[in-house]
Structure formats: C-alpha cells, structure tokens
C-alpha cells in the first residue's frame, strides 16, 4: 500500500476504471480533480503495462470540465496551442506555460492575502452601489418622486388584493 504523505498511485484498467492503490477503492475522474484541488500528488499508470499515463488522464479531466460548461480555455488559446505542435518552439511551450501558471498562482495568493477571498465580488458590489448612486444623481427629482408614487400605488393595490383574499379565506373557514 502507498504512503498517504507521498504520491498516490492510481491504476487505470482496460475497462477504463481507476483504482486508488492507497485507499483500495475505485475512483472517478471527479475524485482525481478533487485530489488536485486539495493539493494531493498522484500518478496514473496503466495497470497492464505500468506506463505512466498521468498526462492523458489530466487532459481528460480538462476535456470533461470544458464539456460541462466550465470553460476556462479560450478558443484562440486552444488554436494557438494546437498550432505550436510540431513547431520548433514546441519544446519551450511546456516550461513557459508552467512558469506562467506559477506566476498566476503567486499573484492570486498575493491578491487573496491582500484583499480577501471575494475581491471580485466585493468590487462588483461596490461598482453597482456607485452606479446606483450616480444614476440617482442624474435622475430628476420629479421623475424619482413619480416613480416612488407609482411603487407606493402598486403596493397599496397589492395590500387591497391581499386583504380581499384573506376575507375570502375567512369566509371559507366558517
């Protein structure tokens, strides 16, 4: 059995099932994705040949995520990436992409530490509040008052309808 602190070994069988040798259970690609998100290291090997097929399985996880609608890879990026296969620069692309992702993660951590986890959500709320204030500043007072009166009239109509419905229910209960 593999050690829990080291790299887990996942065996992929011909029937496409994945077997976690550490927990002695069959798992899914979703389970592997969760392991990645948790920072857990693993390798996937072909159960028959012992060949390392981790890259193929990770690519399949990305394809499945993209198919579910969790699109993260822009079409233009995918086209450029495909265009680099067989190109003289192909050997440099993996190191470049890895360095770019490392830099992105470092920046993400710095932003999270500096501003909290919901930076974009907080910015969106602030922007919406500022937009609301700006629109009120440019709305003529007479128009704003007319809109408020319409809302008040609608609320009163709804209250009257609710009271009428309540009276009907009371009559039915008798």
Q: What is the pLDDT of residues 6-55, one digit of tens each?
A: 899 999 999 889 999 999 999 999 999 999 999 999 999 999 999 999 99
* pLDDT for residue 120: 63
Closest CA to 4 of 28, 45, 27, 35: 35
Q: At what angle do helices 93-115 and 119-138 cross, to 10 degrees?
A: 60
Among 40-44, 69-73, 142-146, 149-153, name the one with the lowest average pLDDT.
Answer: 142-146
CB 43 within 8 A of CB 51: no
Q: At what angle do helices 54-67 and 29-37 cross, to 10 degrees?
A: 100
Q: For the whole model, what pTM was predicted?
A: 0.59
CB 16 within 8 A of CB 25: no
């Amino acid at each position: 059995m593999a050690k829990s602190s080291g790299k887990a070994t996942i065996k992929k069988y011909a029937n496409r099932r994945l077997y976690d040798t550490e927990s002695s259970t069959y798992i899914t690609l979703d389970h592997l994705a969760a392991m990645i998100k948790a920072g857990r290291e693993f390798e996937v090997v072909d159960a028959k040949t012992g060949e390392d097929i981790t890259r193929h399985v990770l690519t399949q996880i990305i394809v499945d995520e993209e198919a579910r609608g969790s699109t993260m890879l822009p079409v233009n990026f995918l086209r450029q990436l495909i265009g680099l296969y067989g190109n003289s620069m192909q050997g440099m692309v993996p190191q470049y992409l890895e360095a770019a992702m490392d830099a992105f993660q470092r920046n993400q951590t710095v932003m999270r530490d500096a501003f909290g986890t919901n930076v974009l959500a907080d910015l969106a709320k602030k922007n919406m509040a500022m937009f609301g204030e700006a629109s009120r500043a440019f709305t003529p007072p007479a128009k704003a008052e007319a809109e408020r009166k319409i809302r008040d009239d609608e609320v009163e109509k709804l209250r009257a309808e609710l009271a009428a419905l309540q009276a009907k229910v009371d009559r039915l209960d008798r």
